[in-house]
Structure 1
Amino acid sequence: MMNFAGQNVETSRRLLTAQLKSAAIDSAELDARLLTGHALGLDLTGMITAAQRQLTPDESARLEAFMRRRLAGEPVARILGEKEFWGLPLRLSPSTLVPRPDTETVVELALERLRAGGDLNRPLRIADLGTGSGAILLALLSELPAAHGFGTDISEAALQTAAANAARAGLSDRATFVACDYAGGLSGTFDLIVSNPPYIRSADIAHLAEEVRNYDPLAALDGGADGLDAYRALIPQAAGLLAPGAALVVEAGEGQSGPIQALMTSAGLTPATAPKADLAGIPRAVAGHKMAR
């Protein structure tokens, strides 16, 4: 196993990169930079400035520990304890998913739906069902200055993480967190409801990437036999809480946009035009709206 004792910052980063590449980790260079910076408490500029400084024994030990964890398959975000989403640094916990770039399509489509209905600066009431780290809710609140958001989750630990992220983002005064199953603990009407529920088919869990199946919470992944159990629960709940003209926007797995639109129709919602695709071209964000009276 690699030992970084006596090495300088730049050499350590290069050695770690080589070690990760030898383990066939595609993001070896980025991972090595992030882990080295985290172990040494340096940002990119600091690493460049301190390139020739030798690591202290404590720094060397930390970096070796990070390397072992990464080689064992642990995601970099779990090692760092945070992940950026929509420009917001979010703390993670074992009870929350690592936010993924694909989920930003939900934020994008939600903002598009709100923009079609008027000024984004207007007072709005929004909800994020199964909020986890609070990623989607806080991203939306960062774009909607007069909105108040409600994040729900059945996990108290996840809600604590989301509340801490809201405080870190300076959004605590506009975010309320509720322990319940999807929308079960909410009342009143909402101008927007969003959700990234579990949608992986139970039989597919074992075939997910190691970084996902071994480190993301199973409850946030497993969507039942066909991956649609969560949608069957939350779509009717959301439909009953939407104000006339308001929208529900959910994340979907590959091949699920059609069945989700059918569930929305059955709940009295009108599916929006085409789902929003992610960078891989997969329909990822699906919207339905409640007809205005």
Structure 2
Amino acid sequence: MMEANTMLVTEFVLTGLTERPGLQAPLFLVFLLTYLTTMVGNLGLAALIWKDPRLHSPMYLFLSSLAFADACSSSSVTPRMLVNILDNRQMISLFECMAQYYFFGSSATTECFLLVVMAYDRYVAICNPLLYPVVMSSRLCALLISMSYVIGFLHPIVHVGLLFRLTFCRSNVIHYFYCEILPLYSMSCTDPSINALVVFIFAAAIQAFTFMTIIESYMRVLFAILKKKSAKGRSKAFSTCSAHLLSVSLFYGTIFLMYVRPGSDPHQYQDKMYSLFSTIIIPLLNPFIYSLRNKEVLGALRKVLIIFPLVKD
């Protein structure tokens, strides 16, 4: 009788970043500006690389794919968060919740493997420069990018599929600004232990594999750089790797803090800040990290800015 009278939850309330009404309007403006900047930065960078034939090298093709993944990651979270800031009800259906988690998990997984591909590209370019054009062929580049996206599309299907075994009949309030999967488990009437274990295993396996592969690639790159006799050659090699290393440090540092921590409480304020940094701030920073010190990208951008007024006139 008790089980029959239990009301199943099909809609959830996202509390967002703050429940203070006075902060809603400033937060909306800040995150709207952040989202627009993220979209212009990432999609603009991807379009610039595809438009300029001089940037059709493997390094820049991987960078354009990463920029697109960042745009997808931000788009999976920020628009819904902006709607919830304006909507006092802050409701999201179970289907929308699953869809949001799927698209975020897909873009995050894709980014993990694209960062590995970019590290491998730098390894081949610095450690085997003479073989670089042969090893990093157009066919291999297309295959590596495709594999990154396919794995990204498939990985979250496992977790979303396991969500269908759960029923939700407790509080429907998610103390988060988007539909993260871990807070959902605390509201489940069904034992979510299997779900949590699968999330931990997959997250730990993917992050450990990709992170260790990147570390191994850059250890070999470091030894190759130190062997260079020319100070100019060492400086150039370090310069080409520095942006990617900074992006890797930000991405993996935040992801490890979010998921690979025993006994983490999804309701803690610090977890919300880690998620904010991962979903909104990193996609905003990446285009600037990769572009500001890159002479080829800046040169292509100047060329577009010079031509555009002439075409307009």
Tell me, yes or no, whether TM beats 0.5. no
Q: Which structure carries more strand by proportion?
A: 1
Per the shorter chain, which TM-score range? under 0.3
Greater helix fraction, Structure 1 or Structure 2: 2
Give the TM-score normalised by structure 1. Answer: 0.26
Q: TM-score, normalised on structure 2? A: 0.25
